[in-house]
Amino acid sequence: MAPLFISIEGGEGAGKSTSIDYIKQKLEAFGIKCLVTREPGGTPMAEDIRQLLLQHRDETVDPYTELLLMFASRRQHVENVIRPALTAGKWVICDRFTDASFAYQGFGRGVDQDFITSLKSWVHGDLNPNMTLLFDLDVATGMARAGKRSNFDRIETEIMSFFERVRQGYLTQAKTEPQRYRIVDAAQSITDVEHQLDHFLAPLLVASGN
Ligand code: Z5A
């Protein structure tokens, strides 16, 4: 079976980072080699772009500038990390990918969806996640969880209605591609979330011969 590309999506504090370790351990227990990475970021240069994107600034950041930087970092990440890992036979688990650009810059900031679709095609062509785990959680709970950390970055300081549009944007995408998306009820306890992940990963493990 060809190695798979799994993306993890969702709002702030939904538990993506918490669950990625679990997913990696689960797959590795079945002898599957995994690469865990994230966006924006994932290469030294793409991590520099992440800093540019998330740091607080006095000047207004234009939504298209934000989107183009996301895709610049993505191109670097896809070419230097994701494609080589898949070619080497590793499964890739990526904390956010292009669906985040549709959710945050498209639904959240109002950037034209067709423009994002066109960038997606230019930047990563036929490479798309085989499965996307969407951690869905109401915005207030997610913010309360995220708020336990000390510093909010530039995007995290947005108003609640922005994050509500992001959440609805993700759910809309999930509806249009039900074969790729698996929705995780992220309001449940960490143990129950892990049970949901077991359920979603089981068919992949069977298909991979494990
Ligand atoms: N962005 C974008 O705009 N466009 C793009 O194309 C891309 C990204 C790719 C950086 O993302 C920002 O970039 C992000 C979107 C934007 N901006 N915002 N805002 P990021 O992924 O690095 O940052 P994040 O989404 O803010 O991550 P996060 O807040 O760390 O969320 P998380 O990883 O989903 O949560 P967590 O760290 O695993 O958990 C948060 C806390 O909750 C922690 O204390 C856990 O112990 C706790 N937790 C986790 N699960 C549970 C459960 N089930 N119950 C109770 N408590 C829990």
What is the domain-level CATH number for residue 30? Answer: 3.40.50.300
First to last CA, the chain: 11
Residue 176's pLDDT band, with cuts at 50, 70 and 90, is very high
Q: What's residue 149's pLDDT?
A: 65
Q: What's residue 147's pLDDT?
A: 80
pTM value is: 0.96
Residue 184's pLDDT band, with cuts at 50, 70 and 90, is very high
Q: Are 184 and 196 in contact (CB under 8 A)?
A: yes
Pocket flag, ligand 1, residue 189 (CB < 6 Å): yes
Backbone angles phi, psi at 199, to 5 degrees: -60, -45
Q: What's residue 206's pLDDT?
A: 84
Tokens 């370790």 identify what position?
21
- pLDDT tens per residue, range 139-164: 999 999 988 666 788 777 778 899 99
- pLDDT tens per residue, range 116-128: 999 999 999 999 9
Number of domains in the chain: 1
Using the mean position of ligand 1's atoms as its centre, give its distance from the Cα of residue 47 in Å: 16
Pocket flag, ligand 1, residue 169 (CB < 6 Å): no
- pLDDT tens per residue, range 36-91: 999 999 999 999 999 999 999 999 999 999 999 999 999 999 999 999 999 999 99
Using the mean position of ligand 1's atoms as its centre, give its distance from the Cα of residue 210 in Å: 30
Pocket flag, ligand 1, residue 101 (CB < 6 Å): yes
Average pLDDT of the chain, as a whole number: 95
Residue nearest to ligand 1 atom 7, measured at CA: 100
- Half-sphere exposure at residue 59, Cβ-oriented, CA atoms within 13 angstroms: 7
Nearest C-alpha neighbor of 66 from the set 183, 155, 198 = 155
The rounded distance, in Å, linking the Cα atoms of 167 and 51 is: 24
Q: What's residue 150's pLDDT?
A: 62
Tokens 């639904």 identify what position?
107
Domain ranges, residue 106:
5-207
Q: What's residue 199's pLDDT?
A: 97
One-letter identity of residue 12: E
The rounded distance, in Å, linking the Cα atoms of 131 and 153 is: 28
Mutate-to-test residue for ligand 1 from 55, 155, 185, highest number of ligand atoms within 8 A of CB: 155
Q: Which residues of the chain form beta strands (DSSP E)?
A: 5-10, 34-38, 91-95, 131-136, 181-185
- Burial class of residue 87 in the structure, from the number of CB atoms within 10 Å of its CB (0-12 exposed, 13-18 middle, 19+ buried): exposed
